A and B are shown apart, each in its own frame.
Chain A
């Protein structure tokens, strides 16, 4: 067996429904409207990614399964004819990744080897969360023990034994927080980042594992990561941030590892991450953030909500306006610039 990467733990949130929405026309407030609808109906979003291509948004969300029909109705009634895909799903999160690209590299490789196709994924400051079809979750959790060693459990059986009673309490905790002006535990940002947007054939996602492992060998830190179904049939969009480099041509490196028909776009961005009590899933938090960004004319390029954090990327020159907008609607005791 190859050497294993040591991680702390992983958790699975079951009984969610994944929804992938792709706009067919430009509408720069589409994501904001979707999150507004969810907040109005008090529907938590345990997972959300938004990616913006010239004001055409692609969204991936997960909602508790008992809310799924309500969400479908809201989408049908509010957005008219819009294509969306759904599936009964579960969210698997591994942590801590410590911004090491090797973790997502290992994950994509093992899932590729096992024929497990992530519907969407995202990272938070500590965790990588993957939305998988519900019937694949046992296979996926068992597969984790190949590339990873977990300090909390040595085998899949140890992990199963450790899970009793977790999910119910998780949901109760979410419902217990409703302060008027939410407190941000940590607001971090970093500039001089390259956002790589790769469009690849969905079955090739596993091949990106090797690229991430190469980035890890170079000591690069991965600060942002999302993926989801593309507007183009059978394609996946993968977006991630690496430090800007004059020496390395990331696009060429990736093209060297993947089939020729991929596209790679690179843009200069800054990223921010805000962690707070269940910020990754509580209804209303991401709605308030997106409203603040719309009011401040911030052009968000991508966003994710997972675990307890919201992470986003935007044009580098807008980061200070974005921080001000966040401070305008949340209580933010400190802002940390990462280098």
Chain B
């Protein structure tokens, strides 16, 4: 997975570092953004190969950013993995996961993040 650039967007900088360290240990290059707007700006500056996106964030949440990216033909093909915290629901749009939850994202990962589970999802989408 060398040369793959993954953008992690979460308003918890401690969690961003945890995820970044997991991905960097697998040889990926990792970009970091700390809310939806920063994520959007970062994507304009450099197109990532995959985006890991938190849902509850200030200014622009993960659902809105995900919808916008999937509606834009320049970014619609970038795989997006949503991070979901305790008790958060994933709203129904296009994508349906095995347990019935749906989102426009390509997959989702519940927190706490399991290293192998994260890598299984990410490597499957790259």
Given A124-B14, A185-B18, A185-B112, answer yes or no on A277-B85 (Cβ-Cβ < 8 Å). Answer: yes
> A185-B113, A277-B111 given as contacts; is B34 within 8 A of A152 (CB)?
yes
Contact B14 A275 (CB under 8 A): yes
Range class of the A interface residue count: 35 or more
Q: Is the CB of B38 within 8 A of A186?
A: no
Which chain B residues in 1-38 approach chain A with CB under 8 Å?
11-18, 20, 32-35, 37-38
A333:B38 contact, CB within 8 angstroms: no
- Please name all residues of chain B whose beta carbon is closer than 8 Å to the beta carbon of A169 when the two chains form the complex: 58-59
Residues of B with C-beta under 8 A to A185: 15, 18, 111-113
Find residues 28-82 in chain B having any chain A CB closer than 8 Å to their own CB: 32-35, 37-38, 41-42, 56, 58-59
What CA separation (Å) do A185 and B32 show in the bound complex? 18
B86 touches A309 (CB 8 A): no
Chain A nearest CB, measured from B56 CB (Å): 6
Contact B18 A152 (CB under 8 A): no
Q: A130-171 toward B: CB 8 Å interface, digit per residue (1/0)? A: 000000000000000000000110000000001011100110
Given A127-B14, A307-B12, A307-B13: A9 and B114 within 8 A (CB)? no
Inter-chain contact B58/A334, CB cutoff 8 Å: no
Whether A183 pairs with B111 at a CB distance below 8 angstroms is yes
B100 at the A/B interface (Cβ < 8 Å)? no
A112 at the interface (CB under 8 A from B): no
Contact B86 A126 (CB under 8 A): no
Q: Does A262 contact B (CB under 8 A)?
A: no
Contacting residues, chain B, for A162 (C-beta < 8 A): 37-38, 59
**Residues of chain B within 8 A of A257, CB atoms compared:** none
Among B18, B37, B111, the residue within 8 A (CB) of A125 is B18
Residue on B with the closest CB to A153?
B38
Check A308 against B12 for contact (C-beta < 8 Å).
yes
Q: Find the A residue at minimum CB distance from B18.
A: A186
How far apart are the CA atoms of A127 and B37 in the complex, in Å?
20
Whether B34 pairs with A179 at a CB distance below 8 angstroms is no
- Across the interface, do B14 and A308 meet the contact criterion of CB distance under 8 Å? yes
B92 at interface, CB cutoff 8 A? no
Residues of B within 8 A of A151 (CB): 32, 42
The answer for the CA separation of A8 and B111 in the assembled complex, in Å, is: 23
Residues of chain A lying within 8 A (CB to CB) of residue B15: 185-186, 275, 308
Query: Nearest A residue to B10 by beta-carbon distance?
Result: A308
Closest chain B residue, CB of each to CB of A9 = B34
Q: Does B93 contact A (CB under 8 A)?
A: no
| B87 close to A179 (CB less than 8 A) | yes
Query: A183 near B13 (CB under 8 angstroms)?
Result: no
- Scan A265-284; emit 1 where CB is below 8 A from any B CB, else 0: 00000000001110010000
A184 at the interface (CB under 8 A from B): yes
Give complex CA distance A263, B52 in Å.
Answer: 46
What does the 1/0 interface line of A293-336 toward B look like (CB < 8 Å)? 00000000000000111000000000000000000000101100
Decide if A29 is an interface residue (CB 8 Å cutoff): no
CB neighbours (8 Å) of A95 from chain B are: 13, 17, 34
In the complex, what's the smallest C-beta–C-beta distance from B19 to chain A, in angstroms? 10
> Taking CB as reference atom, which chain A residue is nearest B16?
A126
Q: How far is the CA of A280 from the CA of B14 in the complex (A)?
A: 10
User: Of the candidates A9, A173, A275, which one forms a contact with B38 in the assembled complex, judged by CB atoms under 8 Å apart?
Assistant: A9
* Minimal Cβ-Cβ distance residue in A for B35: A166
Across the interface, which residues of A come within 8 angstroms of B112, CB to CB?
A: 183-186, 276, 331, 333-334
Q: Provide a sorted-by-A list of 30 A–B residue pairs whose CB atoms are within 8 angstroms.
A: A8-B33, A8-B34, A9-B34, A11-B34, A95-B34, A96-B17, A98-B17, A124-B13, A126-B13, A126-B14, A126-B17, A127-B13, A127-B14, A164-B59, A166-B35, A166-B58, A170-B11, A170-B58, A176-B56, A179-B86, A183-B86, A186-B14, A275-B15, A277-B85, A307-B14, A309-B14, A333-B114, A334-B112, A334-B114, A334-B115
**Other than the known A126-B16, A162-B37, A334-B114, what 17 A-B pairs have Cβ atoms closer than 8 Å?**
A8-B16, A9-B38, A95-B34, A96-B13, A96-B17, A127-B14, A165-B59, A166-B35, A169-B59, A177-B85, A185-B15, A186-B14, A277-B85, A307-B13, A308-B15, A331-B112, A334-B115
- In the A-B complex, list the 4 residue pairs whose CB atoms are closest, starting with the nearest: A126-B17, A95-B13, A126-B13, A185-B112
